[in-house]
Amino acid sequence: NAGVTQTPKFRILKIGQSMTLQCTQDMNHNYMYWYRQDPGMGLKLIYYSVGAGITDKGEVPNGYNVSRSTTEDFPLRLELAAPSQTSVYFCASTSSDSRQETQYFGPGTRLLVL
Amino acid sequence: AQKITQTQPGMFVQEKEAVTLDCTYDTSDPSYGLFWYKQPSSGEMIFLIYQGSYDQQNATEGRYSLNFQKARKSANLVISASQLGDSAMYFCAMREARGGGSYIPTFGRGTSLIVHP
């Protein structure tokens, strides 16, 4: 099992450009999450999904969009990149929505918007 | 109000000594879960330990233990016999029920631990 994979590992964007951060998991997990981590801060939830076709906003969804057409994939779309979106982005998944389930994290995507 | 508070931005410990990383939380939900994750300089998030709100015993995983004081709403991580490889950021997180019953995780800001030889 590869677990949770993310591509790309690093990307530089110009202001106003768009891009999609890819996230794939091979553990057949229903629940998937996107977080951003700013320097010196914890993880803030952007969007999450409880299954294919179902997504919901987290704490900081503005400027992002997601889709979940399959169980495995949960891409994050940035439409008009802004310097405030410079961050490290983590995708995570978990098998069930219960209080004891830990999350499995991808390696992260470092994004720089100039 | 912050759900998870980690008041120590940085901690230093001598190799082979024990260290406690503080975490307090805020919830009105009687059913919740508490987690600690380690993030080394390479950036990945590594799960360390879990404590459920109904668990009577403090959780332990090898050199890691969780000092759970429910009435004080604290969930401190204790690392015994620190090793150089323990130098990393440590995050406390909580899963509590939100509207609709989903247990959405919330993370603290983290504590940077440096282990000196």
Interval A56-112: pLDDT, tens: 999 999 999 999 999 999 999 998 999 999 999 999 998 876 767 788 999 999 999
Q: How high is the pLDDT of residue B98? A: 67
**Is the CB of A102 less than 8 angstroms away from the CB of B108?**
no
Residue B109 to residue A99, Cβ atoms within 8 A? no
Beta-bridge partners for B112: B10, B89
Which tops the pLDDT comparison, A39 or B73? B73
Instruction: Check residue A96 and give its pLDDT.
Output: 76
| pLDDT the model gives residue A89 | 97
* Helical (H) or strand (E) element with B30: none
A72 min Cα distance to partner chain B (Å): 20
Query: In angstroms, what separates the C-alpha of B102 from chain A's closest C-alpha?
Result: 6
How confident is the prediction for chain A on average, in pLDDT? 93
Out of A23-27, B28-32, B111-115, which region has the weakest mean confidence (pLDDT)?
B28-32
Residues 40-79 of A with CB under 8 A from B: 40-45, 48, 50, 58
pLDDT at B1: 61
- Residue B81 region, left (φ>0) first, then alpha (ψ -120 to 50), else beta? left
Kindly indicate the confidence band of residue B100, based on its pLDDT and cuts at 50, 70 and 90: low
Test B102 with A50 for CB contact under 8 angstroms: yes
Calpha distance A32→A52 (Å, rounded): 10
Distance CA A1, CA A29 (A): 13
pLDDT band at A42 (very low <50, low <70, confident <90, very high): confident
User: Which of B3, B38, B95, B112 is the mutation pick for testing A, counting most A CBs within 10 A?
Assistant: B95
For residue B40 the two structure tokens come to 């080394």
Distances from the Cα of A65 to the Cα of A9, A32, B98, B110, angstroms: 19, 14, 21, 27
Q: How confident is the model at residue B101 (pLDDT cuts 50, 70, 90)?
A: low
* Pair B64, B40: CB distance under 8 Å: no
pLDDT at site B7: 94
State the nearest Cα–Cα gap between B6 and chain A, in angstroms.
10
Q: What is the reported pLDDT for A62?
A: 96
Q: Are B34 and B28 in contact (CB under 8 A)?
A: no
Q: pLDDT confidence of B82, banded at 50, 70, 90?
A: very high
Q: How confident is the model at residue A2 (pLDDT cuts 50, 70, 90)?
A: confident
Mutation site, A46, A102, A110, interface B, largest B CB count within 10 A: A102
Residues of A with CB below 8 A from B110's CB?
Answer: 40-42
Q: Which residues of A touch B35 (CB under 8 A)?
A: 102
Of the candidates A8, A84, A89, the one whose C-alpha atom is nearest the C-alpha of residue A46 is A89
CB contact under 8 A, A42 and B104: no
Q: What percent of chain A has pLDDT over 90?
A: 82
Nearest CA in chain B to A88: B43
pLDDT at B48 over 70: yes
